[in-house]
Chains A and B, each alone.
Chain A
Amino acid sequence: MEEPTIKNKFVFSRESLKKKFRLSEFLSEKIITGVAFLSITIIVLIFFFVFKESLPIFQSKNKEAVKVESVQKQEQYGADETAVTNAAGQEQYGDVPADRTNAAGQEQYGVTETDSLMTENQVQEEDTIVYGSDEATFKSLTGTQWLPVSDNPRYGLIPLFVGTLKITLIAILFAAPIAILAALFSASFAPYWLREIIKPAIELLAGFPSVVIGFFALMVMASFFQSIFGYDGRLNAFVGGVAMALAAIPIIYTITEDALTAVPQTYTEASLALGATRWQTALFVTLPAATPGIFAAILLGIGRVFGETMIALMATGNAAMTGINPFESVRTLAATIGAEMAEVVFGDTHYNVLFLIGSLLFVFTFSLNALAEFYVKGKLVKRFQGKQS
């Protein structure tokens, strides 16, 4: 056999084994790590920018009255970093009238981060007479009237909250039982081949665009339900809620199914060995053992419905009413943003209020997700399953 003839043969010596700096290795690691941070960065940026655009509601007060005072304050707080950033941010809104920008900008110098929201509210209340209409804006947030484009605009969020909660309740009342029972069927009772049909089919439903479901609700479901129940308004909370159930069902089904199949085989075997039937085992052993997962599924379903825009826009009628009748038209928080943002003047109060609604939506869904993540998946899994084993 011939001797190896490779010329680039690696020579083993103290020199060649010395740790080498490999640029591509170094760069790839840094870039990959950097990109991985992107998801965190996006979340932070979303929070920052959505919240930032809603800030003027808390800050804008009357223009002239504070002017002199705030110029002095500007010097005082000139070094304050947040103030500088805010001012820079404000300058970019070219379409906002100049004097307004100044007023808003300067006003910010007066409010440092140390000023709590509370004190500010108090200040505002004390100065009610001086700062007429802006004060009214702020106060009207807790009112029951949503009339953003009238001569005397009122931004009462109550009807929007009521509408959203109503829709969410209806949707979950439909979606949760159906999805959980269906998950129980495919996890515990269905033969393998049937399960292999049901599961991907429901996964496909998750892929239906919400605008398609909205269209279906608007054109087909609305008329169908009207012919059954015989109410007046075709579009109402009920139609919207049922349509949203279609969007929530795949989420609840999938997570519940995962939770059910994750229940250890030993549980069910033990139960069956004690003489329980299959349905008793499913209902009294498997289902309770999967409770935390099902709870998480419902939470995520709620989050999905709460923030759903297109179905709400198309199927609920969009009238901001506060009644509890499920066959009344409602307007949800998300639909309000979707319907009105395109028509507002950038930078005015209405614009800011819509961003405030966005911030509230974001905080709410973020909390739901965090709750599902940490509390349910962590604590409850231990407690529930620890008790039963």
Chain B
Amino acid sequence: MKEIKIKTKDLILYYGAKMALNSISLDIPEKEVTAFIGPSGCGKSTFLRTLNRMNDLIPNVKITGEVLVDGLNIYDKQIDVVNLRKKVGMVFQKSNPFTKSIFENVAYGPKINGINNRKKLEEIVETSLKKAFIWEEVKDRLHDSAMGLSGGQQQRMCIARALAVEPEIILMDEPASALDPISTAKIEELIFELKKHYTIVIVTHNMQQAARVSDLTAFFYLGELIEFGKTRKIFTTPDKKQTEEYITGRFG
């Protein structure tokens, strides 16, 4: 078993008076792909967003419990959220490029980290785009607007943008849900490659996708973690009846 990268303990989250996550405890190992599955509104995306404190942006959210990243509780008062997010990157469901050039998009993270040397930025942009398997497609139009890319290209560019900050963990919130099968395949291939260097947590409602890319799978239902284990086991011999019903398509 690999080292534990993220550990949550009794994580409870309220939106106002409504409990959205009920006492989630789970361990996410380093340099593996962990998938969160479950029907819409089950809390899987909410849980993902607690891992880099993106939920801080939503008013009326109350959180108790602990999220340990490398053994540090990220909800500790002493924690600097900005630096935390540099370490825990995120790719969103809807690709969200800035209305800037491809180059500026990818260079955004390094720039806010104080890298202004043009040569260095070019190097980072190239490396990041290569790692996201999109370099060949865009290398001749780095200074065109990112809005001109196709949906799949935009999403891979957003991944490159996240990689440029050199995170250790990448959170992916249904990264392929809006994409066609070919683009989805490319993203999946990319995830497979990325897990050599990064810890990846992916939310998906596509069970085949979870089965294809992940090493571990967590099944959420109505704000609760129902079952968590090796992907192969979850998809073949789940312990819980609800998991089995969901996977065999009886609800969700």
Give me the interface of A with B, judged by CB distance under 8 Å. Answer: 1-6, 8-10, 12, 14, 16-20, 22
B80 contacts A17, CB within 8 Å? yes
Among A12, A16, A18: residue with most chain B CB under 10 A: A12
Smallest beta-carbon distance A13→chain B, Å: 8
Given the known interface contacts A9-B166, A17-B72, A20-B83, the answer about A1 and B193 at a Cβ–Cβ threshold of 8 Å is yes
Contacts of A12 in B (CB 8 A): 69-70, 87, 168
A1 contacts B123, CB within 8 Å? no
- Can you list 14 pairs linking A and B with CB atoms under 8 Å apart? A1-B193, A4-B127, A4-B166, A5-B127, A6-B166, A8-B114, A10-B86, A12-B87, A17-B78, A17-B84, A18-B78, A19-B77, A19-B79, A20-B82
Smallest beta-carbon distance A233→chain B, Å: 61
Give me the interface of B with A, judged by CB distance under 8 Å. Answer: 69-70, 72, 74, 77-80, 82-84, 86-87, 110, 113-115, 123-124, 127, 130-131, 165-166, 168, 193, 196-197
B166 contacts A17, CB within 8 Å? no
Smallest beta-carbon distance B234→chain A, Å: 29
A16 to B74, CA, bound (A): 12
A8 contacts B197, CB within 8 Å? no
Contacts of B86 in A (CB 8 A): 10
Residue of A nearest to B164 (CB): A6
Given the known interface contacts A4-B197, A5-B123, the answer about A17 and B79 at a Cβ–Cβ threshold of 8 Å is yes
Smallest beta-carbon distance A304→chain B, Å: 37
B80 contacts A20, CB within 8 Å? yes
From the candidates B74, B87, B124, name the one contacting A6 in the complex (CB within 8 A): B124
Residue of A nearest to B113 (CB): A8
Among A3, A4, A6, A17: residue with most chain B CB under 10 A: A17
B78 contacts A19, CB within 8 Å? yes
Among B69, B82, B110, B114: residue with most chain A CB under 10 A: B82
Contacts of A2 in B (CB 8 A): 127
Q: A1-B131, A4-B166 are in contact. List 12 more A-B contacts (CB 8 A).
A: A2-B127, A5-B127, A6-B166, A8-B110, A8-B113, A8-B115, A17-B78, A18-B79, A18-B80, A19-B80, A20-B82, A22-B82
Smallest beta-carbon distance B79→chain A, Å: 5
A10 contacts B114, CB within 8 Å? no
Contacts of A1 in B (CB 8 A): 130-131, 193, 196
A22 to B82, CA, bound (A): 11
A12 to B77, CA, bound (A): 17
